[in-house]
Structure 1
Amino acid sequence: MSSGKVWIVGAGPGAPDLMTLRALRAVETAEVLVWTDSLVNPQIAALAPEGCERLRTSTLTLEELMAVIIDRARAGRKVVRLHDGDTALYSALNEQLCRLVDAGIAVEVVPGLSAYQATAASLSSELTIPGLVQTIVISRAGGRTGVPERESLANLASLGASLCLYLSARHVEEVQAELLRHYPADTPVAIGYRVSWPDQWLSVVPLSSMAAVSQERQLIRTTLYIVSPALAAPGEARSKLYSASHHHLFRGGAT
């Protein structure tokens, strides 16, 4: 293994068997494992080999974290930075990449399954139904971090698409009120808490009950909402791709 390289790895939503093979191989050969212990299943961190240095990040600032990663990488050790979910979503990937590039350290990014995908699979649901909804929007409530005005919840909800909201449980009352301006009150909402973990809780409720159910369950973190008409799709909805009348490169249409 060449020196001066860091692997930033998406661990998936929680269950070890939902990791990608590439992510698993990275963890199993790590010499230094830097992991988000507040969000990543400890069973995944336990897959690192005996003798691997393990560093939990829940009490560290980004500066403290990056100082250790850069030090270990420069020493020629294989450093695996393990994130929950997928590295492309709410992972602080960009801030870490900038510091590693500035330090002259090569980086390999390994994607992971996201919670919205695991939630849809647990419900045996497709979020893009022909003639009903063909767009998936992934976002979050503003909160302390905020979102650009053009990405306000009002603008996103006006699409009527399958809307996946992360990091929003603390603001669920305001979220529900805004969504009710754009979706019918009986629109199904999947509420997923720690999806794919042993203590997973997952339920589909009407949009009008979204806040009340969240508050009853005392959900404030590690919660995902999927608001979508697709969760109540009619049984006759059919993809044109597999229709006998649909021509494409590999199959002629009906004559």
Structure 2
Amino acid sequence: MVYFIGAGPGDVDLITVKGREILKKADVVIYAGSLVSKEHLKFLKEGAKAYNSASMNLDEVIEVMKESEKENKMVVRLHTGDPAIYGAIKEQMDILNEEKISYEVIPGVSSFTAAAAAIKREFTLPKVSQTVILTRTEGRTEVPENEDLENLAKIGASMAIFLSINMIDKVVKKLRKGYGRNVPIAVVERATWEDERIILGTLDDIALKVEKAGIKRCAQILVGDFIDCDYEKSKLYDKNFSHMFR
């Protein structure tokens, strides 16, 4: 059996209880060493074998899974954040389907929710935004033309932009064209890690702030009025509003 587990954004305790319990029982662990805290390896049972996938290609990862399956060993594929978001797990799962190897996906805390927690904000505010867009700008991986950052920004929704901090100037240019105005923006580097850094600003000044801070990787970009705005209180706890979800 293979388990794809989201290890969370950084803090070793932000893995789910279910994820950690499975991790403790694993015979083999393949972890994304460049992004997943090595503190997770302290929970492995004696004799468990760990592989750092930072130095492995897809074929090598699958080979470890296949050999472990032949030996009836439990395998954990430990991904950063939640594996369903930019986790590149479908290509792994498709091969496991072909090999008739059983697997399960255990969700995790994503860096975009960890970043919102770091700046103490809520993405979905009444009369401000009820939509959250998770996206990235194009790099080595292309983005469909209709999902270009400029087009998405025109919606005016709250946004969490992954894998793009090294192109902050490009990001700001596209956002400015899309929003058509200056809007609040936050950059959270290594959310929930001990060396987490937060930069708050607007489209007018964020690029310069990021450059001065020397942030070039492992950062989430949050954009939208939800960061700094007036809003209406939710109906959920309104004393004059009753409903089945109270």
Question: What TM-score does the superposition give when structure 2 sets the normalisation length?
Answer: 0.95
Q: 1:16-41 CA deviation, whole Å, 9 max, x = no partner?
A: 11111011111111110100000001
Structure 2 alignment gaps of length 5 or more: none
Question: Does the CA-based 8 Å contact 1:35-1:45 persist in structure 2?
Answer: no
- Aligned residue number for residue 166 of structure 2: 170
The alpha carbon displacement at 1:93 in A equals 0.9
- Aligned residue number for residue 232 of structure 2: 237
Range that drifts further, 207-216 or 79-88: 207-216
Match among 10, 20, 23 for residue 27 of structure 1: 23
Question: Does the CA-based 8 Å contact 2:200-2:206 persist in structure 1?
Answer: no
- Aligned residue number for residue 201 of structure 1: 197
Q: Write out the 4+ residue segments of structure 1 that deviate beyond 6 Å after TM superposition.
A: none
- What amino acid is the match of 2:243? H
Q: How does 1:62-211 map to 2 (within 5 A)?
A: 62-183=58-179, 186-211=182-207
Q: Write the distance in 2 (CA, Å) between the matches of 1:84 and 1:192.
A: 16
Match among 5, 8, 23 for residue 12 of structure 1: 8
- What amino acid is the match of 1:45? L
- What amino acid is the match of 1:73? E
Q: Write the distance in 2 (CA, Å) between the matches of 1:134 and 1:83.
A: 29
Alignment root-mean-square deviation, CA: 1.4
1:218 aligns to 2:185 (yes or no): no
Percent of paired sites with the same residue: 33
1:51 aligns to 2:47 (yes or no): yes
Q: 1:56-114 CA deviation, whole Å, 9 max, x = no partner?
A: 01111111111111111221001000000001100011000001111110011000000
Aligned length: 246
The alpha carbon displacement at 1:185 in A equals 5.2
- What amino acid is the match of 1:170? N
The alpha carbon displacement at 1:184 in A equals 6.0
Question: Does the CA-based 8 Å contact 1:185-1:208 persist in structure 2?
Answer: no
- What amino acid is the match of 2:125? I
The alpha carbon displacement at 1:123 in A equals 1.9
Three-state SS of the structure 2 residue aligned to 1:80 is strand
Q: Write the distance in 1 (CA, Å) between the matches of 2:147 and 2:241.
A: 36
- What amino acid is the match of 1:239? S
Structure 1 alignment gaps of length 5 or more: none
Q: 1:168-196 CA deviation, whole Å, 9 max, x = no partner?
A: 01211111011112336542211011110
Three-state SS of the structure 1 residue aligned to 2:205 is helix
Question: What TM-score does the superposition give when structure 1 sets the normalisation length?
Answer: 0.92
Q: Write the distance in 1 (CA, Å) between the matches of 2:229 and 2:41.
A: 38
Range that drifts further, 144-153 or 184-193: 184-193
The alpha carbon displacement at 1:218 in A equals 2.2
Three-state SS of the structure 2 residue aligned to 1:180 is helix
Q: Write the distance in 1 (CA, Å) between the matches of 2:227 and 2:42.
A: 36
Range that drifts further, 5-14 or 207-216: 207-216
